[in-house]
Chain A
Amino acid sequence: MANQIIEAHQEQTSTISRVNVPPAQTWNYLRINDLSFEVPTPHFVGDVYARLPRMFEGVECGIGDEAATWIVRASGDARFVEVKAGEQREQPIYVDIDASATEVRDTGVLVRTGASATIVTCAHGCEGDTSASLLRVVAERDARVTIIELVACGSGQQHLDAIGIDAAEGARIDMRQYALGGSRVALGLACSLAGTGARFALDSRYLASGRDVLDVNHVVRQRGRVTRSDIVTTGILADAARKTMRETIDLVHGAKGAEGSEIETVLVTGDEVVNKTLPVILCDEEDVAGNHGASIGAISPEQLGFLSSRGLSDDVAERLFARALFDDALIHADVAEARQAVLARATEVLGIDVARDIAEVLDIDFEEASC
C-alpha cells in the first residue's frame, strides 16, 4: 500500500525551498547555500496511513525540514522495520522507489543493540516527474548497519533522497552512496554519532552529465567521545552538468578524541561543467582532529601514467572511470531489482554493449531495459 500518491494531481505544484542547507552557510552570491524544488502538492482523499514511531521524528536527515515534511506527507504511508537485539539479519531491507510511478517512500529502520542489517534503497525509472525517499535509521549500542543508496533515475526525472542516521555507543555505520542519474537530484544525508566510539564511513560516488543538476549535502555531527567519521567522495562531471557538494563535519563540544575526515576527488570531462564544493569542519572542542581536502580536475598524473602503461589512452581511462562507477554500484547492490535498475541506467549512459559486458563479467543476469 506504500505506493503513492500523487496520481492525477500533478497539475498542482508547490515550491520547497531551503533544500540541502548546510549547517554553516556562506555568501549568498555563491549560490551554494540551498536549492529549491518545484514538487507536486500532496493530495489527500481521507485515508489515514501509518506513521513512523516518534523516535524517528528527531532524526536529522540533511535535506532540510521543508523537504522532509513534504516527503512524509507525499508518501502518505510509512514503513517501519525493527531488527531485534542481537539479530544478524542476512536479507537486506530493500526500499524500492519507482520514479516512473512518481513514488515517494518514508522508511524507518530501528537496529537494536548488537544487531546487524543491510539497507538498500534504489530509485529508478525512465519517465515521470518527481520521486522521493526518506530513510531514517536508529542504530542502538554496538549495532552494525550497512546502507547502500542508489539513485539510478533516467534523464528528465527529478528526485529527492534523504537519509538520517542516529548512532549510539559503539555503533558502526558503513554507507555507500551512488548518484547515477536524474536531471535534478537532491541528496541529503545527516549522521549523528551520539554515542562514545560510534563510527561512520561514507563512500559517495556520482556521475552527472548532460544538463543534470546534482545537489548534495553531507552532514556528520560527532557528539560522542572518540567517534570517527570518514567521508570519501569521488565523481565524474561531464558535458554541462552542475554539481554542488556540501560536506560538513561538526565536532560538537564534548566530543573529546573525535576524528573526522572528508575528501572529494572530481573528474571533470566537460567544458561547461559547473562544479561547486563546500567542505567545512566545525569545531567546538579542543581534543579533536578534522581533515578535509579536494582534488578537482583530472585523474592524477601518476594514475594516468600507470593506466597508460597498461595500454589506456587518456580518453579510454576516462571511460574506464565511468564504467567503474557502474561496476562498483553493481558489486555492492546486493538486491536483484537494484542491480537491474543500475544496469538499465548503465545501458542509457554507456550503451547496451557495455552494460551487457558489465553484467556478464560480474556474472549477473542482464534483462535488457533502458529508457
Chain B
Amino acid sequence: MSDQLLSVSGLSAGTEDKPILHDINLTVGAGETHVLMGPNGAGKSTLGHVIMGDPIYQVTSGSIVFGGQDLTDKSPDKRSLAGIFLSYQAPVEVPGVPLYSFLRTICQMRPELKTTARKFRQRVGEIADQLDINQNFLTRELNVGFSGGEKKKIEMLQLLLLRPKLAILDETDSGLDVDALSIVSRGIEAYRKECDGALLMITHNTRILERLTVDRTHVMVHGSLVADGPASLIDDIDAHGFARFENALEQKEQA
C-alpha cells in the first residue's frame, strides 16, 4: 500500500435542498489508479465535484484530507494549488480569455511550475503536439467554439501541464470518437508515466482503462459507495451490470 494521498471519511453532501452523497469513505494512495463506477445518477460526478470543493454542494458531515491537510472547508483554488485536478465532463467556455493567457496564469500560480515565457511556450507546444492539438487553438478563446473532443483534449493539456498529485477524470471519455478517445487515453497514460500522479476515473467506458493498471474499483449506487474490489470487478460489472448492487442496497435500506 502506497502513501495515503486522499482520505474521504464519513462524507455526506448535497445541494441546499437535496442530500446526494451518504457517508462516503474512500482512500486513494499516491500514484494509484482508482475507478469509480455506477449507474447514471448515482452521484459519481457529485463526489468528484465535492472533492474539488465545488460551492454548489454543501458538505453536511465528514472530512476530506489530502496530503495530510484537511481541505474540507477550503475553496477550490486552494485545493487545486494543493494538487487536486478535476477534469470536467462539460468544460466551461470562457469568452474573452485566450487559451495561452489562461494556461500561463494557472502555471504562474504554482511556484513549482513558474518558468520563463520561452520555456513555457516550449512546454505547451510539446504537450499540444503530444495530444494532436493544433497550435492555432492556443490563441483561441478558452473552450469557445471547441467541439466536445477538442475540449477534452484541452483538459488533458492542462492535466499534463499542471502535473497534479491527484487527477479526478469525470467521464473524460464521454462523447469522444475512436480517434479522440485514443488521444485522450494517451494523455492519461502520459500523466501516469510522467507525473506518477494518482487517478480517480469516473467512467462507463472500459476502453479508456485498457492502457492503465487499475488498483481499486469502487461502485456507487444512490449516493453510497456499496462495493469496492480489484480491477477484476470492472469485468464483472461489464458482464452483469449494477443490478445486484442496487438490489443489495435496497434490501439493506429496507432492513
Binding site for B on A (CB under 8 A): 205, 232, 234, 265, 301-303, 305-313, 316, 319-321, 323-325, 327-328, 331, 357-363
16 CB contacts below 8 A, A to B, read: A232-B95, A301-B55, A305-B55, A306-B91, A309-B76, A310-B80, A311-B80, A311-B109, A312-B106, A313-B75, A316-B109, A320-B102, A321-B96, A328-B141, A361-B117, A362-B139
* Interface: B104 (CB within 8 A): yes
Q: Determine the distance from Cα of A201 to Cα of B81 in the docked complex, in whole angstroms.
A: 39
* Interface: B12 (CB within 8 A): no
- Pair A305/B75 contact, Cβ less than 8 Å: no
> Which residues on the B side are within 8 Å of A361 (C-beta)?
100-101, 104, 117, 120-121
- Pair B106/A310 contact, Cβ less than 8 Å: yes
With contact pairs A320-B102, A360-B117 given, residues A308 and B75 touching in the complex (Cβ less than 8 Å): yes
With contact pairs A331-B139, A357-B117, A361-B117 given, residues A305 and B56 touching in the complex (Cβ less than 8 Å): yes
- Pair A312/B96 contact, Cβ less than 8 Å: no
Closest Cβ–Cβ distance, residue B48 to chain A (whole Å): 10
- Pair B96/A328 contact, Cβ less than 8 Å: yes
Q: Determine the distance from Cα of A327 to Cα of B105 in the docked complex, in whole angstroms.
A: 12
Q: Mark B75-96, 1 if CB is under 8 A from A, else 0.
A: 1110111000110100110111
> Which residues on the A side are within 8 Å of B120 (C-beta)?
361
What is the size, in residues, of chain B's interface with A at 8 Å between Cβ atoms? 38
Q: Determine the distance from Cα of A359 to Cα of B116 in the docked complex, in whole angstroms.
A: 12
Q: Determine the distance from Cα of A323 to Cα of B96 in the docked complex, in whole angstroms.
A: 10
With contact pairs A305-B54, A361-B121 given, residues A313 and B96 touching in the complex (Cβ less than 8 Å): no
- Pair B98/A328 contact, Cβ less than 8 Å: yes
- Pair A309/B86 contact, Cβ less than 8 Å: yes
- Pair A311/B55 contact, Cβ less than 8 Å: no
With contact pairs A320-B102, A360-B116 given, residues A309 and B97 touching in the complex (Cβ less than 8 Å): no
Q: Determine the distance from Cα of A309 to Cα of B117 in the docked complex, in whole angstroms.
A: 23
- Pair A305/B106 contact, Cβ less than 8 Å: no
With contact pairs A305-B56, A309-B52, A309-B80 given, residues A331 and B158 touching in the complex (Cβ less than 8 Å): no
